[in-house]
Amino acid sequence: MTTIKASTRFDEPVTQAALDQAIERGSKRASVGVRATAVQYVPQLGSLLFSFLDHSAVALPVSNYPELAALDVSDLQALSLGFGGSALCLKARDMHISIAGLVLASQPLMDMAVSLVAVRNGQKSSITKSAAARENGRKGGRPKLALAAG
């Protein structure tokens, strides 16, 4: 994991324009990315259970992540969400871990995500795609693939 040191800008005055701009940026970010609503350590599974706004959940085994596997049960139970639900935090150890990063480290979850994105993108229709489908329909369907003579 990469450690990033936060910067402080204590000498910048907060104006109404800067505040409005920050609120607008925050509202745009709120709809993007992984945003968990709760986290719970489930000892029977040895996993962290992340739940989301629609009541779906993902369980990630603690043993798959060295930074989490090193924690004892009391630390695992003290984990909380931070940064608008995008990070796993442990104040006692000043630990902040991206939930998206945890998912990214799981190959089965990434394979599932790739598959879901492919399905979603395949369902999209554009003006060009619709026109091509109509033209192919007039010709009796999708053209046959011509095999190269060899």
pLDDT tens, 111-120?
A: 888 888 888 8
Domain ranges of the chain: 16-105
Question: In 3-state terms, what secondary structure has residue 16?
Answer: helix
Per-residue pLDDT reduced to its tens digit, 97-138: 999 899 889 899 888 888 888 888 877 777 887 788 788 888
The radius of gyration of the chain's CA atoms, rounded to the nearest angstrom, is: 23
DSSP string, 86-133: TEEEEGGGTEEEEHHHHHHT-HHHHHHHHHHHHHHHHH---HHHHHHH
Give the separation between CA 32 and CA 99, rounded to whole angstroms: 13
According to the model, what pLDDT value does residue 15 have? 85
Per-residue pLDDT reduced to its tens digit, 20-46: 888 887 776 655 667 899 999 999 999
Please state the pTM of the whole predicted model.
0.62
Question: Does the pLDDT at position 149 exceed 70?
Answer: no
Angle (CA) 104-99-116 rounded to 5° is 50
According to the model, what pLDDT value does residue 71 have? 94
CATH of domain 16-105: 3.30.2020.40
Per-residue pLDDT reduced to its tens digit, 35-90: 899 999 999 999 999 998 888 999 999 999 999 999 999 999 999 999 888 899 99
